[in-house]
Amino acid sequence: MFHWRRTLSRLRVLCLTCLIATTTCSCSAQQIKAATPASTQNEITSLRRTWQVGAYASGGFAPNYIVGSLNGLRYRKEQQFYTVTFEAGRMLAAPHGPSILKGRPEALVEITPFWLTHSPEQTSVVHSNNPFLDGREGTFPGYYEHGVSFVPLMFRWNFTNSSNRHIPWVQAGAGVLWTTNIFPQGGGYPGSYTSRFNFTPQVGAGENLFVRKNQSLNIGLRVIQFNNAGLGDINPVPYTLNFSIGYSWWK
């Protein structure tokens, strides 16, 4: 009888000791985590994301599209743009940089198999060197034009000092665009020819919003120029504004 009581007493002491040890370890782990600065935790999480694969859709317009010709005929035109783009990127280095500029450089490649521009039918005031035409209104038919685009290298800076849940970025790059007809003045109308082949220097800014640990919803604004580099007579579209929304998987 005495033997069983002594064994039971020892078991109670052992259980109490284990409970105290477990509680102490748990408290210590929480204290260590709490003592770790938030910026360090963000940096650790950011370092685990090296590759990005995703896609985005965009829509935009040309704020200052002036259709013109070498003989002086010109008028303002509304032009809309729609794309679906696939992108892949890789981080090039660990976070570095001063203060709020701290971040990670990333190189991306973009392929746009669906590129569409739409010019709706519209009435515009025509300006011309010919006094008979100058100041008159003209009605111009609408049209659609398709193309494909490729950006072989986009450089992006991901700011990692704010949070691991939302990461702002800025980027710059250049690509090429091929269209089914010469763009943006198909057929050379009203007298100056452009080209089917255009270069697309661009800059942009946006943010990755991580809805899951390694999945992000991405929003952005891109400013793109179409430049035929002398392959056509003129470059009538100085720049376009394109708003985008997409989704990415990270590894």
Region 136-153 average pLDDT: 90
Say if residue 56 is in the same domain as residue 175: yes
The CATH number linked to 85 is: 2.40.160.20
- Over residues 14-59, the pLDDT tens digits come to 555 544 544 444 444 454 445 445 555 555 566 678 999 999 999 9
- Over residues 52-105, the pLDDT tens digits come to 999 999 999 999 888 776 667 778 888 999 999 999 999 999 888 888 889 999
pLDDT at position 128, please? 80
Question: Across 63-67, 195-199, 244-248, which has the greatest mean pLDDT?
Answer: 244-248
pLDDT at position 135, please? 82
Where is average pLDDT lowest: 69-83, 111-125, 234-248? 69-83
Task: Say if residue 193 is exposed, middle or buried (CB neighbours under 10 Å; 0-12, 13-18, 19+).
Answer: middle
pTM over 0.85: no
Say if residue 129 is in the same domain as residue 210: yes
Say if residue 53 is in the same domain as residue 71: yes
Say if residue 154 is in the same domain as residue 179: yes
List the Cα angle 130/131/133 in 5-degree steps: 70
- Separation of CA 222 from chain center: 7
Say if residue 20 is in the same domain as residue 50: no
Q: Work out how many domains the chain is built from and give that number.
A: 2
Mean residue pLDDT of the chain comes to 82
Say if residue 143 is in the same domain as residue 27: no
pLDDT band at 205 (very low <50, low <70, confident <90, very high): very high
Say if residue 70 is in the same domain as residue 135: yes
Say if residue 21 is in the same domain as residue 112: no
pLDDT at position 6, please? 56
pLDDT at position 29, please? 42
Say if residue 13 is in the same domain as residue 116: no
Query: Nearest Cα to 109, choosing from 154, 174, 147, 176?
Result: 154
Pairs from 218-225 (Cβ < 8 Å, separation ≥ 24): 218/54, 218/56, 218/244, 218/245, 218/246, 218/247, 218/248, 219/243, 219/244, 219/245, 220/56, 220/244, 220/245, 220/246, 222/58, 222/60, 224/60, 224/200, 225/200, 225/201
Say if residue 27 is in the same domain as residue 150: no
Say if residue 77 is in the same domain as residue 31: no
Say if residue 67 is in the same domain as residue 16: no
- Domain hosting 196: range is 43-250
